Structure 1
Amino acid sequence: MWRAFNETFSSLAQLLNATIVSGTFGPRIIKSTDPEDIQFYGDPDLYPNQTEVYLPLTKDIYNTVHVYAPNGSLIASRDKYHLTSEETELLQLTPGKLEENRVIEPNNLCIAICLDAFFLDILSYLDSQNCTILIQPSYNVAMWASNISSESSVWQPLDWTTGPLALFEKTRNIQFSINPMVTGNLFSDMIVDGQSTINQRLSSRIRPLKRQDYLYIGLDLDDVQDISEFQTLALAQWAQDDPREANLTKQERQELLHQYALELAPNSKSKYENQYVDTIIWIDVTL
């Protein structure tokens, strides 16, 4: 598993001449050139030319993001600290250590995996190291166009604003937040959804972009008026456009979006089942 992951993203970084951030579950890895290890653990497709194998160092498994430089080298790995109940109870993952989440040179990148970017202990620690660009790879196991739970009236995208958007109010040095979010039904029964964003800290030198179409679906500008430090520079399209131009109340818009989300869901039997959007967002920024 590690050989496939590592070689894929190392090669892509070189091919694209880009820094690549990618995450996976896995243990700490050691490389072995012992012929007995190679014989036992080796890949039959590589026989007899395999010269090394990767082995787990311990039984602990982490949710880890790996950073590859444009030359293909692995320059950093960062573990998730605040695990969800599914990660601890179902997957039995081990949390990372806060003090090991260091800022990554040369561009002062820092990593806060998904839920970590919602917590002040993580943000304060990264900010104290003069992080400039916070990258928040996210895997939101929830219906995006829906309330956060059956017991709550809080709209899921509104709850999400307290992470990649509100983090600028909680920090001083972070200038950009990049929040790539996975979309699509996993296996046959798990919804994974969201809208990727690139966000910037506002300052007196930056004219804010007051655009409704730069908001998560189902939101209006008044939903983020109390979050004063940010502006969204790029936003991924969702599977259905928010009918903001229609003469509808916010609740009516959210209900329409929710009905479409139900059609996207696993086993909906709709022609729109699993028809999420695959997209790329980008923006030129000055550091």
Structure 2
Amino acid sequence: RRLAFIEHAVETERAYVDTFSSLAREYGVYLAAGSIALPPMEDEPVKGGRHIMDESKVYNMSYLFSPRGVCLRRVPKVNMTEPFENRVFNSGPKSELVPVDTPLGQLGTLVCWDGFHQTLVEHYDALGVDIVLQPSYNQHPWDGPCSYGAPGTEGENRLRTGCPSIIQGRENIQYGIEAMMVGAVFEDMLAEGLSSVSRNTGRVGASWEEGVLAMAEKPDGEEIVAATVEVDGRR
């Protein structure tokens, strides 16, 4: 699969960018696209346009698009999950976790498992990020046993340690948005999860229930999850 990611990188990235850029323009929104497996890419006329910069690396990356359809940031995943990702992908450098300044405030993307790591959330909070964007994929049954042996279900542990909880009591982070893939990815890979919009209550240790503003109802079906919020007086 790693070789396939490299062999088809140019046409894959073109389709990815065209699709999400068009959606961002059509709806006039900032759009954090679901992550994609790609080597480092560049689009440079002297070298024939879109091309691979380094075939020795493949990152799990999420692109952020502006309401005009412009790619504002390409964020690689830093922490790999076992057993698949750490065999196929390279860990992205933490230095690539740079906020994007927008009229909505500063946006910072953490790809899936990165959003469960205190040091990365601290990193963005220290840089003044207002909204954390977390495109996620969970391949374990949401209501099944926790995949790493903790008490409770997979879903309960993701909520207790993930986006709705980990942003609580931060200095600058005001909101967290986790968009979770659902449905079949490959024939043997099924995704389940509850997408959510959460707020920082300002209280350290606040429960995820206190922080959630809106959440999907079912872990295995497509839904639109939305909440109207204010960021520094901007609605």
**Smaller-chain TM-score bracket:** 0.7 to 0.9
Which residues of 2 match residues 56-75 of structure 1 at below 5 A? 56-59=52-55, 60-75=57-72
Question: Aligned residue for 2:23?
Answer: 12
Which residue of 14, 19, 24 corresponds with 2:36? 24
Question: Which residue of the other structure, out of 36, 59, 83, is the alignment partner of 2:80?
Answer: 83
Residues 67-125 of structure 1 deviation map (CA, whole Å, 9 limit, x = unaligned) = 11011111111111111121111xx2111111220111112011111111111110111
Q: Secondary structure, in 3 states, of the residue corresponding to 2:108?
A: strand
Distance 1:98 1:164, change over 3 A: same
Q: Report how far residue 53 of structure 1 moved.
A: 4.5
The partner residue of 1:54 within 50, 53, 57 is: 50
Structure-2 change in CA distance of 1:179 and 1:191 (3 Å)? same
Aligned to 1:43: none
- Structure 2 spans left out of the alignment, 5+ residues: 1-11
Match of 2:20, as an amino acid? F
Question: Is the partner of 1:9 in helix, strand or coil?
Answer: helix
Check conservation: 1:32, 1:53, Cα contact below 8 A.
yes
The alpha-carbon distance between structure 1 residues 133 and 151, as it changes in their structure 2 partners (threshold 3 A), is closer
How many angstroms does 1:54 deviate by?
2.1
Q: Distance in 2 between matches of 1:181 and 1:227?
A: 20
Identity %: 23
Q: Distance in 1 between matches of 2:175 and 2:76?
A: 21
Identify if the C-alpha distance between structure 1 residues 194 and 12 changes in structure 2 by more than 3 Å, giving closer, same or farther.
Answer: same
Deviating runs (4+, > 3 A) in structure 1? Answer: 149-153
Alignment match, 2:3: none
Deviations 1:117-168 (A, max 9, x none): 1111101111100111001110011111111149554211111121112212
Name the SS for the 2:135 alignment partner.
Answer: coil
* Contact preservation (8 Å) 2:168, 2:201: no
Give CA-to-partner distance per residue, 1:218-238, whole Å, 9 cap, x none: xxxxxxx96289421111110
Tell me which residue corresponds to 1:277.
221
Q: 1:148 aligns with which of 146, 149, 155?
A: 146
Any conservation in 2 of the 1:169–1:229 contact (CA below 8 Å)?
Answer: no
The 5-angstrom pairing of residues 244-283 of structure 1 reads 276-283=220-227
Picking from 116, 119, 130, the partner of 1:118 is 116
How far apart, CA to CA, are the structure 1 residues paired with 2:172 and 2:209?
Answer: 12
For 2:19 and 2:133, how far apart are their aligned partners in 1?
20
Q: Distance in 2 between matches of 1:78 and 1:166?
A: 22
Instruction: Give the superposition deviation at 1:182.
Output: 0.5
In 1, the alpha carbon distance for the partners of 2:80 and 2:169 equals: 21
User: Aligned pair 1:237/2:223, yes or no?
Assistant: no
- The number of residue pairs the alignment matches comes to 213
TM-score between the two structures when normalised by the length of structure 2: 0.83
Preserved contact between residue 198 and residue 212 of structure 2 (Cα < 8 Å): yes
Amino acid at match of 1:136: Q
Give the superposition deviation at 1:25.
Answer: 1.0
Q: Quick one: distance in 2 between partners of 1:62 and 1:70? A: 25
Give the direction of change, closer, same or farther, for the CA distance of 1:16–1:88 in structure 2 (3 Å limit). Answer: same
CA distance in 1 between partners of 2:187 and 2:209 (Å)? 40
CA distance in 1, matches of 2:14, 2:153: 40
Q: What CA distance in whole angstroms lies between the structure 1 residues aligned with 2:208 and 2:153?
A: 20
The equivalent of 2:4 in structure 1 is: none
Pick one of 83, 89, 95 that aligns with 1:93. Answer: 89
Instruction: Mark the structure with the bigger radius of gyration.
Output: 1
Within the candidate set 3, 13, 29, 1:2 is matched to: 13
Q: Is the 8 A contact 2:168 2:211 kept in 1?
A: no
Change (3 A) 1:130 1:150: closer
d(CA) in 1 for partners of 2:45, 2:97: 30
Q: Secondary structure at the match of 1:108?
A: strand
Does structure 1 conserve the Cα–Cα contact (< 8 Å) formed by 2:150 and 2:157? no
